[in-house]
Amino acid sequence: MKFLIPLFLICFSFSFSQTQKVRAYLDEKQFCAPEIGNYIEIQLQFVGYSFKYKNVEGGLKGELAVRLDIKSNDSIVSKDAYRLQTPLMKDSIIDDFYDIRRFALAPGNYVLEVELQDLNAEGESVKASKPFTIDEMKNALSISDIQISEVITKGDNSSVFFKSGYNMIPNLSTFYPSEISKLPVYFEIYNSNLIGDSVFGLKQTITDVLTDKIMEDFTLLTRHKSSEIIPILRPIDISNLQTGKYTLNFSLLNRSLKEVMVKSFEFERSNDIEKTFNPDVLLIDPAFQASISEDSVDYYLASLIPMSRSSEVKSILTILKSKNKESARKHIQGFWNVTASMNSYEAWMKYKAQVQVVERLYGNNFQAGYETDRGRVYLQYGSPTTVLQKEVSSTEYPYEIWQYNKIGKFSNKRFIFYNPDLVNNAYRLLHSDMIGELKNASWQLVLNKRNTTNGTVDNPNQNVEQNYGGNSNANFRQY
């Protein structure tokens, strides 16, 4: 099944468009070969339905012109121009099609310029450019770029997709929905003899970008003999990898299991999987259950929502609606048995203490602490590094700016909360630069709404004045 992925989800990619809606995605991967040295592989995915086709015997065919120029210091060092026919499209089923071009290049910085022209359509060609760097791999211990393939079949040199005995159709997306259960991964290891031994270890890990937690089920350690070039082709089963942003890492280890090199590949996954457990076989932990008083069972069950995925939230709401205390108790314990299997009780007690903190600090007459925006952010990301509170201003609603030095692998992330009701400690999230959180380009306008007229689409904050006491913009940007 094909997915047209938005541009921002594609690693190092461009999309091309014109009035005829020609579209393509581009990526580049660096490899090395003994006979040619370092080379770049330009991978193109053309969006099939964006091209015009002509009737031919047996179906439909399109044709396009492609120009690739590689420049260094504004001089062309390598180029290619060619006509490319689309595959035969049968029964009006229009699918994407692909192409690969390879260029041997010395180490250095370059700019790739691409031009596309649909030869069956009127209109101007479309152009794009992209900088890239070639690293020295031929005479150094190194790892090629990691390639994810869409289709892999046995092949030979007659195909442009041929590599190491296989034809590999590239998958240019870095976003993998639940329909994709396996990642066919390919990369090459060069000059592993420079590790200083006849054998070395290759360690595979997947790390949650947000929490920096290693997903233990995907860790794999293999042993290899040193050689000039070692191709690695393996499928990684991600059917049980939940929604999130991850880093796939391959580390080279010496005989002492010390890491000497690592290559990484970031990707996003959409795959809501409920943390399931069988309540009928759940072994009740008396200490765990004793930590939850009878009148607070529903409260602590609902407090798990900030830590839960959408499918888990549905289960929690169903149990709360049933008012079944036994089911609620089992779900709380089962949740932590799955979330922190090695120390579930300790993890639960730590989280319970945090729930009590946010209740004391952020609860109000209408919401429990964990239901508020500040409480949810606190429980999800931990306590902020610094908090700037501004309760009195001549021009702005009361607000708080939370700054985190680190959230997983992200640095210096900020959240701004405000209280437009002016009472009841009911602060709401207004804006954040954290991935996945609310982003509001006109947050200054909203904060100054009592005395600020609207701006424009291009500059929604143009009429915001920095009056005495109105320093939210400076405060937000100072971190």
Tens of pLDDT, residue by residue over 385-400, are: 999 998 877 778 999 9
Residue 427 confidence (pLDDT) above 90:
yes
Residue-level pLDDT at 468: 40
Residue 94 confidence (pLDDT) above 90:
no
Q: What is the DSSP letter of 367?
A: S
The torsion region of residue 323 among left (phi > 0), alpha (psi -120 to 50) and beta comes to left
Residue-level pLDDT at 469: 46
φ, ψ (nearest 5 deg) of residue 377 = -65, -40
Residue-level pLDDT at 242: 86
Q: What is the DSSP letter of 43?
A: E
Residue-level pLDDT at 238: 94
State the pLDDT confidence band at 274, using cuts at 50, 70 and 90: low
- Give pTM, 2 decimals: 0.65
**Lowest-confidence segment of 62-66, 266-270, 336-340 by average pLDDT:** 336-340
Distance CA 280, CA 324 (A): 15
Angle at 462 between CA 459 and CA 465, to 5 degrees: 155
Residue 5 confidence (pLDDT) above 50:
no
Residue 159 confidence (pLDDT) above 80:
yes
**Lowest-confidence segment of 11-15, 112-116, 327-331, 356-360 by average pLDDT:** 11-15
39 within 8 A of 104, measured Cβ to Cβ: yes
Distance CA 168, CA 160 (A): 9
Residue 210 confidence (pLDDT) above 90:
no
Residue-level pLDDT at 130: 92
State the pLDDT confidence band at 460, using cuts at 50, 70 and 90: very low
Distance CA 203, CA 184 (A): 17
CATH of domain 1-139: 2.60.40.10
SS3 216: helix
The kind and range of the H/E element at 411 are strand 410-418
Residue type, 325: K
Residue-level pLDDT at 13: 38
Residue-level pLDDT at 6: 31
Task: Pick from 6-10, 83-87, 283-287, 443-447 the range whose average pLDDT is largest.
Answer: 83-87
* Tokens found for residue 395: 């021009």
Residue-level pLDDT at 311: 75
Residue 42 confidence (pLDDT) above 90:
yes
Question: What is the rounded average pLDDT of the residues 201-228?
Answer: 93
Residue-level pLDDT at 9: 30
φ, ψ (nearest 5 deg) of residue 320 = -60, -40
Residue-level pLDDT at 436: 79
* Tokens found for residue 156: 């030979």
Residue-level pLDDT at 19: 47
Distance CA 403, CA 412 (A): 7
Residue-level pLDDT at 46: 92
Question: What is the rounded average pLDDT of the residues 420-446?
Answer: 88
Residue-level pLDDT at 473: 62
Residue-level pLDDT at 472: 65
Question: What is the rounded average pLDDT of the residues 113-123?
Answer: 92
- pLDDT, tens digit, for every residue of 166-193? 999 999 989 898 888 999 999 999 999 9
* Tokens found for residue 288: 């765990």
**CA atoms within 13 Å, Cβ hemisphere of 89:** 20
Closest CA to 116 of 222, 45, 165, 202: 45
φ, ψ (nearest 5 deg) of residue 148 = -105, 130
Burial class for 428, CB neighbours closer than 10 Å (0-12, 13-18, 19+): middle
Per DSSP, what are the bridge partners of residue 43?
27, 100
Runs of H (alpha helix) within 173-263: none
Domain ranges of the chain: 1-139, 165-272, 286-368, 384-477
Residue 131 confidence (pLDDT) above 50:
yes
Distance CA 73, CA 47 (A): 32
Closest CA to 328 of 292, 356, 358: 292
Cα–Cα distances (Å) from 99 to 44, 66, 86, 110, in that order, read 5, 10, 10, 21
Mean of all residue pLDDT scores within the chain = 86
Fold of 165-272: Immunoglobulin-like (2.60.40)
SS3 240: coil
Closest CA to 233 of 167, 170, 188, 175: 188
Neighbours of 328 (CB within 10 A): 21
126 within 8 A of 66, measured Cβ to Cβ: no
Q: What is the CA radius of gyration of the chain?
A: 28
The kind and range of the H/E element at 310 are helix 310-322
Residue 8 confidence (pLDDT) above 60:
no
Q: Percent of the chain, pLDDT > 70?
A: 88
Residue-level pLDDT at 50: 87
E-assigned strand segments in 47-181: 54-56, 59-61, 63-72, 75-85, 97-104, 108-118, 126-134, 142-143, 147-154, 162-163, 166-170, 175-176
Per DSSP, what are the bridge partners of residue 15?
25
